[in-house]
Amino acid sequence: MYDPTDPRASLGAARPASAVPAPSVFAAPDVGRFYAEPPQLADAQSETWLIRSQAAIVAYSTVSGPATMTRKGQADEYVLLLPGKTLAARVTIDGITTEMPPFSIAFIPGGDSSVTFDGAGAAVRIFTSRSEDLAAACGNAAAYATPHPNVAPFQAWPAPKAGRRVHVYSLDVPDEPGRFGRIWRGSTLMVNFLAPQLGPRDITKLSPHHHDDFEQCSLALEGSFTHHLRWPWTTDLNAWREDQHLFCAAPSVLVIPPPAIHTSRGMEQGVNQLVDIFCPPRLDFSMKPGWVLNAADYPMP
């Protein structure tokens, strides 16, 4: 249910209703309030908090000095997001180094890679749960000892047209009427760096909606949010879940399982910045002309 002014009001179904089995059991959301929890990984130059969904892993790091983060035998493509203006990076694969300025996003091929940071600030890496070492280190790893219901099996999208290289894009993209957020996709992940909410969100223009069979990770980078969740009723009262209204300051991640109805409201008087993460990319967003800013680089299935 979208306000008529919301660009998502024109979206079609991600999959035909007949292709999605009716749910009978529901999973709980997962919440990582990184400001109130110890990091899973730490060294002299950085601290990293890890949380996962069934398909994705979010690694939020604070970098305070020269630091290098490496991946050996990485299973598939991953994302590096530099959301601030004070932290840059150099990404090296196959002996080739690519400069990544502050306030940018990169899609990094699988295999061996290293990221060396310059400056201080926040860095967000996003992986699929095929990165088993990181999945095991997540603060909520135990929640996925048994696969969650209602989530479609992960299937990667096609490789980029340019082949094996690092793709870097600036986050400095102006809003455009009719386009929702600032969306980039790779072969494994889609990231929507939403327009910042300035001041509390208008309570008459919320956007309660659900996803039939894919998860959403909502990363709060600035300000705070109240995430509202509601689950459908079924014929079995044992499967019913209470509504939840989860307050999360930044930095934090909420993992929203399907088919929970959800909407988020920015709460602070200043900037409230949210990033939505999907694994694999969303077909409905990709079908909208102009919505995916790097669509020319990454083909659809």
Question: Given a cut of 60, is residue 47 above it in pLDDT?
Answer: yes
In a domain, 229, yes or no: yes
User: At 300, which amino acid appears?
Assistant: M
In a domain, 295, yes or no: no
Q: How far is CA 74 from the centre of its chain?
A: 19
**pLDDT by residue (tens digit) across 235-250?**
999 999 999 999 999 9
Q: Residue 163's CB: how many other CB atoms inside 10 A?
A: 7
In a domain, 2, yes or no: no
Question: Given a cut of 90, is residue 14 above it in pLDDT?
Answer: no
In a domain, 92, yes or no: yes
Are 219 and 58 a contacting pair, CB within 8 Å? Answer: yes
Task: List the CATH number of the domain containing 160.
Answer: 2.60.120.10
In a domain, 299, yes or no: no
Length of the chain: 301
In a domain, 298, yes or no: no
**Owning domain of residue 130:** 7-286
In a domain, 293, yes or no: no
In a domain, 184, yes or no: yes
Write the DSSP symbol of residue 178: T
Q: What is the tally of structural domains in the chain?
A: 1
**pLDDT by residue (tens digit) across 186-213?**
999 999 999 999 999 999 999 999 999 9
Please state, for a pLDDT cut of 90, what percent of the chain lies above it: 91
